[in-house]
Amino acid sequence: GAPNVSTAAAVREQHGHDESMHPCAPPDVVVWPQAVGQVQELAALCHRCRVPMVPFGTGTGLEGGVNAVQGGVCFDLSRMAAIAELSLEDFSVTVEPGVTRKALNKHLRGTGLWFPVGTVGIRGV
Protein backbone atom coordinates (compact mmCIF):
# COMPACT_ATOMS: atom_id res chain seq x y z
CA GLY A 1 0.00 0.00 0.00
CA ALA A 2 0.83 3.71 -0.07
CA PRO A 3 3.16 3.85 2.95
CA ASN A 4 5.28 1.08 1.40
CA VAL A 5 5.34 2.23 -2.26
CA SER A 6 6.16 5.58 -3.82
CA THR A 7 6.36 7.01 -7.32
CA ALA A 8 6.89 10.57 -6.06
CA ALA A 9 9.65 12.34 -7.99
CA ALA A 10 11.47 13.50 -4.84
CA VAL A 11 11.53 9.98 -3.37
CA ARG A 12 12.66 8.46 -6.66
CA GLU A 13 15.45 11.04 -6.99
CA GLN A 14 16.59 10.42 -3.41
CA HIS A 15 16.92 6.72 -4.28
CA GLY A 16 18.54 7.33 -7.68
CA HIS A 17 22.01 8.30 -6.47
CA ASP A 18 24.54 7.71 -3.76
CA GLU A 19 27.64 9.64 -2.66
CA SER A 20 29.43 8.88 -5.93
CA MET A 21 30.12 11.34 -8.74
CA HIS A 22 27.58 9.62 -11.00
CA PRO A 23 24.50 11.63 -11.98
CA CYS A 24 21.13 10.70 -10.54
CA ALA A 25 19.31 7.88 -12.34
CA PRO A 26 16.04 7.40 -10.45
CA PRO A 27 14.03 4.19 -10.42
CA ASP A 28 10.45 4.08 -11.66
CA VAL A 29 9.14 3.15 -8.21
CA VAL A 30 10.48 2.73 -4.67
CA VAL A 31 9.19 -0.02 -2.38
CA TRP A 32 9.92 -0.69 1.29
CA PRO A 33 9.57 -4.41 1.99
CA GLN A 34 9.49 -5.35 5.66
CA ALA A 35 9.92 -9.12 5.53
CA VAL A 36 11.87 -11.69 3.56
CA GLY A 37 8.64 -13.04 2.03
CA GLN A 38 7.80 -9.62 0.63
CA VAL A 39 11.25 -9.34 -0.94
CA GLN A 40 10.80 -12.79 -2.49
CA GLU A 41 7.38 -11.93 -3.91
CA LEU A 42 8.57 -8.59 -5.30
CA ALA A 43 11.69 -10.17 -6.81
CA ALA A 44 9.64 -12.93 -8.43
CA LEU A 45 7.25 -10.35 -9.91
CA CYS A 46 10.12 -8.23 -11.24
CA HIS A 47 11.79 -11.30 -12.71
CA ARG A 48 8.57 -12.45 -14.40
CA CYS A 49 7.99 -8.98 -15.88
CA ARG A 50 11.69 -8.47 -16.71
CA VAL A 51 11.88 -5.29 -14.60
CA PRO A 52 15.26 -4.29 -13.12
CA MET A 53 15.65 -4.47 -9.33
CA VAL A 54 17.94 -2.09 -7.45
CA PRO A 55 18.66 -2.65 -3.73
CA PHE A 56 19.04 0.47 -1.58
CA GLY A 57 20.54 0.61 1.90
CA THR A 58 21.52 4.06 3.13
CA GLY A 59 22.70 5.66 -0.11
CA THR A 60 26.22 6.21 1.21
CA GLY A 61 27.99 4.08 -1.38
CA LEU A 62 30.70 5.50 -3.59
CA GLU A 63 30.21 3.29 -6.64
CA GLY A 64 26.89 4.38 -8.14
CA GLY A 65 25.37 1.00 -7.37
CA VAL A 66 21.95 2.44 -6.55
CA ASN A 67 21.62 4.32 -9.83
CA ALA A 68 18.72 2.81 -11.74
CA VAL A 69 20.25 3.33 -15.19
CA GLN A 70 17.47 1.26 -16.80
CA GLY A 71 14.69 2.34 -14.44
CA GLY A 72 12.98 -0.39 -12.48
CA VAL A 73 12.06 -1.00 -8.87
CA CYS A 74 14.18 0.22 -5.98
CA PHE A 75 14.01 -2.06 -2.95
CA ASP A 76 14.68 0.22 0.06
CA LEU A 77 15.64 -2.30 2.74
CA SER A 78 15.88 0.19 5.63
CA ARG A 79 12.72 -1.12 7.32
CA MET A 80 14.22 -4.60 7.58
CA ALA A 81 16.43 -3.69 10.53
CA ALA A 82 16.20 -6.56 13.00
CA ILE A 83 19.21 -8.10 14.67
CA ALA A 84 18.24 -11.76 14.63
CA GLU A 85 21.05 -13.51 16.47
CA LEU A 86 24.24 -12.62 18.32
CA SER A 87 26.79 -15.26 19.27
CA LEU A 88 29.50 -13.87 21.52
CA GLU A 89 31.25 -17.24 21.52
CA ASP A 90 32.03 -17.24 17.80
CA PHE A 91 31.90 -13.46 17.23
CA SER A 92 29.03 -13.65 14.75
CA VAL A 93 25.81 -11.76 14.34
CA THR A 94 22.92 -12.36 11.95
CA VAL A 95 21.14 -9.21 10.79
CA GLU A 96 18.54 -8.10 8.30
CA PRO A 97 19.82 -5.93 5.42
CA GLY A 98 18.59 -2.64 6.90
CA VAL A 99 20.80 -2.84 9.99
CA THR A 100 23.35 -0.04 9.88
CA ARG A 101 26.83 -0.21 11.33
CA LYS A 102 25.86 2.41 13.94
CA ALA A 103 22.76 0.47 15.00
CA LEU A 104 24.77 -2.74 15.24
CA ASN A 105 27.45 -1.09 17.35
CA LYS A 106 24.77 0.33 19.65
CA HIS A 107 23.41 -3.22 20.04
CA LEU A 108 26.92 -4.57 20.71
CA ARG A 109 27.73 -1.90 23.31
CA GLY A 110 28.70 -3.56 26.57
CA THR A 111 29.67 -6.88 24.98
CA GLY A 112 33.28 -5.95 24.24
CA LEU A 113 32.63 -6.32 20.51
CA TRP A 114 32.25 -3.71 17.78
CA PHE A 115 31.80 -3.68 14.02
CA PRO A 116 34.38 -1.42 12.33
CA VAL A 117 34.12 0.23 8.93
CA GLY A 118 35.28 -2.00 6.08
CA THR A 119 34.59 -5.32 7.81
CA VAL A 120 33.95 -8.24 5.50
CA GLY A 121 32.01 -11.42 6.10
CA ILE A 122 28.59 -9.92 6.74
CA ARG A 123 25.90 -12.58 6.90
CA GLY A 124 22.29 -11.45 6.60
CA VAL A 125 19.05 -13.24 7.37
Regions of the chain with pLDDT less than 50: 125
User: Do 68 and 31 fall within a single domain?
Assistant: yes
The pLDDT value recorded for residue 2 is 82
pLDDT digits (tens, 9 = 90+) for 105-120: 999 999 988 888 765 5
CATH of the domain at 70: 3.30.43.10
User: Do 62 and 23 fall within a single domain?
Assistant: yes
Distances (CA, A) of 6 to 12, 43, 44, 49: 8, 17, 19, 19
The pLDDT value recorded for residue 121 is 52
The pLDDT value recorded for residue 119 is 53
User: Do 6 and 26 fall within a single domain?
Assistant: yes
The pLDDT value recorded for residue 120 is 53
Q: Phi and psi for 83 in degrees, rounded to 5? A: -100, 110
Mean pLDDT of all residues in the chain? 91
